[in-house]
Amino acid sequence: GNSVTQMEGPVTLSEEAFLTINCTYTATGYPSLFWYVQYPGEGLQLLLKATKADDKGSNKGFEATYRKETTSFHLEKGSVQVSDSAVYFCALDRGSTLGRLYFGRGTQLTVWP
């Protein structure tokens, strides 16, 4: 089947710290992988995505590399800001024409000044 496992939260960091949020997946076929972010009081927004193995998605200083050999898509940022405080969701689709998403449970990130 298809599933996503994210590291448990919450994650609390000081400003300018390095961030890693782990995400591993199980999938049949060749899924695309996504990171969505949910800021307080707002809807889910796409942060970045990668559609094939070894692709790197990047946006707003965040990066994630699609690793087929380890079935992982870990999210990283070199220097977090208070404004990065949000819930982060890893997700995959089935890699076919039916684009339903499978989400992880989400990881709450809080960044302190």
Partner 1 sequence: GAGVSQSPRYKVAKRGQDVALRCDPISGHVSLFWYQQALGQGPEFLTYFQNEAQLDKSGLPSDRFFAERPEGSVSTLKIQRTQQEDSAVYLCASSLAELAGETQYFGPGTRLLVL
Q: Which is nearer to partner 1, 17 or 101 (CB)?
A: 101
**Which phi-psi region, left, alpha or beta, contains residue 105 (left: φ > 0; alpha: ψ -120 to 50)?**
alpha
Q: How far apart are CA 106 and CA 40, in angstroms?
A: 13
Task: Check residue 82 and report its DSSP letter.
Answer: G
Q: Which is nearer to partner 1, 51 or 58 (CB)?
A: 51
Neighbours of 75 (CB within 10 A): 24
Q: Which is nearer to partner 1, 14 or 96 (CB)?
A: 96
Amino acid residing at 94: R
Provide the minimum distance between the beta carbon of 83 and partner 1 in the complex, in angstroms, as a whole number.
Answer: 19
Q: Which residues bind partner 1 (CB under 8 A)?
A: 4, 31-32, 36, 42-46, 49, 51, 89, 91, 93-106
Task: Check residue 78 and report its DSSP letter.
Answer: S
Provide the minimum distance between the beta carbon of 55 and partner 1 in the complex, in angstroms, as a whole number.
Answer: 10
Provide the minimum distance between the beta carbon of 77 and partner 1 in the complex, in angstroms, as a whole number.
Answer: 20
